[in-house]
Amino acid sequence: MKSHYRVVVIGGGVVGASVIYHLAKFGWSDVCMLERSVLTAGSSWHAAGGIHALNADPNISALQAYTIDLLQEIEAESGQDIGLHMTGGLTMAGTPDRWEWLQSQYRVYQSIGISDCRLVTPKEAGELNPIMSTEGLLGGMWADREGYLDTTGTVHAYAKAARKRGAEYFEHTKVEALEQTQDGWRVQTDKGTITCEHVVNAGGLWAKQIGRMAGVELPVSPLKHHYLISDTIAKLENLDFEVPMTVDLEGFTYLRQDQKGVLLGIYEINHEHWAMDGAPWDYGMELFQEQTDRIENELILGFERYPALQDVGIKTWVNGAFTFSPDGNPLVGPVPGKRGYWCACAVMAGFLQGGGVGKSLAEWMIHGEPEADVYGMDVARYGKFAENREFIKQTTGQFYSRRFVMTYPNEQLPAGRPLKMAPAHDAMTAAGCQWGNSWDLEVPLYFASEEFQENPSLKRSNAFPLVGSECKTVRTGVGLLDITGFSRFEVSGPNAEAWLDNILASKLPKPGRAGLAPMLSEEGKLKGDLTVFNWGDGTWWIMGSYYLRAWHMRWFNDHLTEGVSIIDLGEDWAGFSLSGPDSKDVISKITDFSINELKFMGCATMDIDLIRAKVGRLSVTGELGYEIHCRMGDHIALRRLLLKAGAECGIREFGFNALLSLRLEKGFGIWSAEFTQGYTPGMTGMDQWIDWDKEHFIGQAAAIKERDGNGPSQKLVMLEIDADYADASGYEPVWNNDSLVGFVTSGGYGHTVKKSLALALVNNELAKKDQKLKVHVVGVEKDAKVIQMSPYDPDGLVMRV
Ligand SMILES: Cc1cc2nc3c(=O)[nH]c(=O)nc-3n(C[C@H](O)[C@H](O)[C@H](O)COP(=O)(O)OP(=O)(O)OC[C@H]3O[C@@H](n4cnc5c(N)ncnc54)[C@H](O)[C@@H]3O)c2cc1C
């Protein structure tokens, strides 16, 4: 073991081994992996070894597909047998809604290029897996690239292949402490001290403690998980093929063949956390006693689904632990505020995600950014609030128990809520507000009577008319929306303007003006769809999506220069958006500011009655509107004042569901849909805000290359879809004469234009008005055509009046 490495990876499970493999593969071979026991000694040795390409997050699906392709490569490279059995896989649906969902998921997989799937009838499924009872099943999905592998062999294959490329690993070497130095980290082990530039927490069950060694509280917890291995099943002895990996969603089980028996794994509704502060240091390669009482219901369902299990004994029980983050996705990437400290942990399915995690982390460390959009597993998607133990317990438990439970897109899940509430929350609840959640905050969805219950649905729900009525209020009168759920950053200091000019690709607004501001990575991909405000007193605001607060702050801090101060105002500021043709009448009643002078995209500090507010004349609804920001403590008073002043005009509160419909009618994109770090300005129309004449901004060279080259292959368009009971939501495929030509980024109903609308990225040559296309909506093919980008008020006149 040397005394210095460029990178030290802590943990010799499948994830750590994949990280050193990818670092070495991409050219960084001065790396070592330290393992306190032997390779695989955490969760990895006792995993079921199942692999399947499908995941609800399409970006994670793509990384899983990458891992599966990689497996044969590392086997060949290392010469280590990984016991790969590509049996194919079945995912079965047992309720009408689930079957509908599976059919729409199948279309989503087509959109993201997973083409080796097909839908199957229960009869076909029964032939593919002859030990499965098809009783109560409505249909299923077959995927070619599924199966299982030998877990120990796979970890050794990654490690050996990494060693062949120059990386090192050491077993029986425990990391005991970490200390940040000027150039990186001092890693204290029981075999001596190593210094390094970067340290990676791939500690699996011990990730929590390895975080704490560096003063980092990671939102991760282990939970227990059961599977059983049966004795030989006679029917399997007579088959000349292995039964496929089979997931029975309504039964909460997965199954694969194991020699001539089967392995049946259970996602337990009655879940159990274990060692929330991380596994004990002396925890060896141990298992827990099986807890059959806790999983009785799932076992009964499993034995009914696979009746042959009723006639054979159970050879082995495995009750082991593995780790979860609140949303079940890994925690990967540079930890904000800890230079050179990286995470590759909370990987729930290391054998199918480990390859993608290792690849992304290695690219990130070496090139500054991963190639794929990995926001879904970025450690910076959580804020400080997620350090709370009870929050972690509730959310990880909810994810685990609901692993195979269907979640509807309009369903609001309870774990970790309510947490942060804007001061007017209770008054808004009394007014009928139905709440959703963004990051730690409760956000208004729509307003309804006390007894109203929304039905969970893949289609338009019974809240549809309520949302329609809120849209009408905004388009014809005036509506009030709580916008505490926007992010606000204050930038000041002698170099603030120069810094903003470099970090944002747009022209900076003049004093008293606001402007739309794309932010780019060096590779010319989007990093933010922001609005920048120049308050005229040397302070600037950047506003964006609330849930990206920590993620954006990491980017700002990573690029901070001398003479610039940036503060996240999210805990101190709140606000309301007043919008609609009557909004000027309302605001002018309660301010002595000459409101007529505040033109579209103007901004000013003004008094709203007793409140000193910051006001921007803009609105995401596309109407005449004002975003009024106040101190958190003034939020209740501001709401009362605005409601009172608007009473004569019939003001009504509205929620984000209406806002989503209103912005769609205007063709305004939003982050995580039209704008992601996987897309470029040219694809999304964000290039219209780039200031091509400025001397320098981050991502300039790449943006110019896109502009002056052949341009992007796909462009954002607005589609009108011939759909009447359901709307597109995102990632549905777009077809032209049976060829896949794009996908939906977001969709919904335009209540004013009375059309089912969707924004979609489609091949350039088809991005022209009146082009006829087809789109799958909840699994059913519908006619669609390209229409003008902004079906409501195409020239943007009403917001400028
Ligand atoms: C019953 C069960 C079934 C599963 N089935 C599947 C499946 O079918 N498919 C799938 O993909 N996944 C499955 N999993 C999940 C899978 O096991 C994990 O996702 C995976 O093992 C995580 O790997 P890891 O490298 O992150 O963590 P671990 O395997 O826990 O590795 C972490 C390593 O870090 C070492 N370490 C910790 N602290 C230190 C320190 N201070 N110094 C040095 N070394 C340290 C540990 O000794 C350990 O070896 C299953 C898990 C369980 C429990």
Task: Report residue 646's pLDDT band, with 50, 70 and 90 as the boundaries.
Answer: very high
pLDDT at 354: 96
CA 406 to ligand 1 centroid distance, Å: 27
Tell me if 589 sits within 8 A of 608, measured CB to CB.
no
Non-local (6+) Cβ contacts of 407 within 8 A are 413
CA 232 to ligand 1 centroid distance, Å: 28
Q: Whose CA is nearest to atom 18 of ligand 1?
A: 350
Task: Report residue 428's pLDDT band, with 50, 70 and 90 as the boundaries.
Answer: very high
The ligand 1 atom nearest the CA atom of 176: 41
Q: Whose CA is nearest to atom 27 of ligand 1?
A: 204
pLDDT(56) > 80: no
pLDDT at 317: 97
Torsion of CA 155, 158, 160, 163, to 10 degrees: -130
CA 694 to ligand 1 centroid distance, Å: 49
The rounded distance, in Å, linking the Cα atoms of 120 and 614 is 58
The interaxial angle of helices 464-476 and 656-666, nearest 10 deg, is 60
**pLDDT tens readout for residues 702-722:** 999 999 998 899 999 999 999
pLDDT at 711: 85
Task: Report residue 58's pLDDT band, with 50, 70 and 90 as the boundaries.
Answer: confident
Return the half-sphere exposure (C-beta side, CA atoms, 13 A cut-off) of residue 647. 6
Q: Which residues of 350-360 are buried (b: 16+ CB within 10 A; e: fewer)?
A: bbbbbbbbbbb
**pLDDT tens readout for residues 256-300:** 999 999 999 999 999 999 999 999 999 989 999 999 999 999 999
Q: Which of 295, 229, 221 is nearest to 263 (CA)?
A: 229
Task: Report residue 57's pLDDT band, with 50, 70 and 90 as the boundaries.
Answer: confident
Torsion of CA 512, 638, 385, 519, to 10 degrees: -20
pLDDT at 52: 83
The average pLDDT across 642-657 equals 98
Exposed / middle / buried, residue 599 (Cβ in 10 Å: 0-12, 13-18, 19+)? exposed
Q: Which of 793, 776, 792, 773 is nearest to 784 (CA)?
A: 773
CA 351 to ligand 1 centroid distance, Å: 9
Tell me if 466 sits within 8 A of 755, measured CB to CB.
no
pLDDT(112) > 90: no
pLDDT(579) > 80: yes
pLDDT at 60: 83
pLDDT(54) > 80: no
Non-local (6+) Cβ contacts of 279 within 8 A are 42, 205, 206, 222, 321
CA 243 to ligand 1 centroid distance, Å: 26
DSSP 12-24: -SHHHHHHHHHHH
The ligand 1 atom nearest the CA atom of 344: 26
The 10 Å Cβ neighbour count of residue 407 is 12
Exposed / middle / buried, residue 509 (Cβ in 10 Å: 0-12, 13-18, 19+)? buried
The ligand 1 atom nearest the CA atom of 15: 25
CA 272 to ligand 1 centroid distance, Å: 18
The rounded distance, in Å, linking the Cα atoms of 420 and 165 is 49
Q: Whose CA is nearest to atom 15 of ligand 1?
A: 349
The ligand 1 atom nearest the CA atom of 322: 53
pLDDT at 239: 96
Percent of the chain whose predicted confidence (pLDDT) is above 90: 97
SS3 306: coil
**pLDDT tens readout for residues 766-785:** 999 999 999 999 999 999 99
The ligand 1 atom nearest the CA atom of 347: 19
SS3 560: coil
pLDDT(53) > 80: no
CA 226 to ligand 1 centroid distance, Å: 15
Q: Which residues of 787-801 are buried (b: 16+ CB within 10 A; e: fewer)?
A: bebbbbbeeeebbee
SS3 676: coil
The ligand 1 atom nearest the CA atom of 345: 26
Tell me if 48 sits within 8 A of 263, measured CB to CB.
yes
What amino acid is encoded at 485 in this protein?
G
The average pLDDT across 506-510 equals 98
Q: Indicate the top mutation candidate among 20, 21, 43 to test ligand 1's pocket, ranked by most ligand atoms within 8 A of CB.
A: 43
pLDDT at 628: 98
Percent of the chain whose predicted confidence (pLDDT) is above 70: 100
| Separation in Å, CA 459 to CA 222, 294, 732 | 35, 35, 14
pLDDT at 733: 96
The rounded distance, in Å, linking the Cα atoms of 7 and 340 is 9
CA 374 to ligand 1 centroid distance, Å: 21
The rounded distance, in Å, linking the Cα atoms of 716 and 683 is 6
Q: Indicate the top mutation candidate among 262, 325, 331, 351 to test ligand 1's pocket, ranked by most ligand atoms within 8 A of CB.
A: 351
The rounded distance, in Å, linking the Cα atoms of 218 and 204 is 12
| Separation in Å, CA 251 to CA 135, 163, 187, 299, 405 | 12, 42, 46, 9, 9
pLDDT at 126: 98
| Separation in Å, CA 263 to CA 151, 245, 257, 316 | 14, 10, 6, 9
Three-state SS for 217-262 is CCCCEEEEEEEEEECCCHHHHCCCCCCCEEEEHHHCEEEEEECCEE
The ligand 1 atom nearest the CA atom of 350: 19
**pLDDT tens readout for residues 146-184:** 999 999 999 999 999 999 999 999 999 999 999 999 999
Residues counted in the chain: 801
Phi, psi of 723, deg, nearest 5: -125, 140
% helix / strand / coil in the chain, to the nearest 5?
Answer: 30, 30, 40
Biggest alpha carbon–alpha carbon distance for the chain: 87
| Separation in Å, CA 156 to CA 17, 38, 163 | 8, 10, 10
What is the pTM for the complete model shown?
Answer: 0.97
Q: Indicate the top mutation candidate among 18, 34, 44 to test ligand 1's pocket, ranked by most ligand atoms within 8 A of CB.
A: 44
The rounded distance, in Å, linking the Cα atoms of 246 and 308 is 15
DSSP 769-794: TT-EEEEEETTEEEEEEEE-S-SSST
The rounded distance, in Å, linking the Cα atoms of 364 and 359 is 9
pLDDT at 521: 97
pLDDT(311) > 80: yes
The ligand 1 atom nearest the CA atom of 227: 1
Task: Enumerate residues lining ligand 1, CB below 6 A.
Answer: 10-16, 34-37, 41-44, 46-50, 174-175, 202-206, 210, 225, 227, 318, 320-322, 345, 347-352
**pLDDT tens readout for residues 312-358:** 999 999 999 999 999 999 999 999 999 999 999 999 999 999 999 99
Tokens (6 digits) for 405? 């439970």
What amino acid is encoded at 585 in this protein?
D
The ligand 1 atom nearest the CA atom of 210: 41
Non-local (6+) Cβ contacts of 518 within 8 A are 504, 505, 506, 526, 528, 529, 530, 681, 686, 687, 689, 690
**pLDDT tens readout for residues 747-771:** 999 999 999 999 999 999 999 999 9
pLDDT(187) > 80: yes
The rounded distance, in Å, linking the Cα atoms of 684 and 674 is 7
What amino acid is encoded at 359 in this protein?
K
Q: Indicate the top mutation candidate among 70, 206, 228, 331 to test ligand 1's pocket, ranked by most ligand atoms within 8 A of CB.
A: 206
Mean of the per-residue pLDDT values of the chain:
97
Tell me if 790 sits within 8 A of 667, measured CB to CB.
yes
The average pLDDT across 604-623 equals 98
SS3 82: coil
The rounded distance, in Å, linking the Cα atoms of 593 and 628 is 13
pLDDT(729) > 90: yes
Three-state SS for 609-626 is CCEEEEEECCCCCCCCEE
The average pLDDT across 673-694 equals 97
Tokens (6 digits) for 486? 């926007």
CA 206 to ligand 1 centroid distance, Å: 9
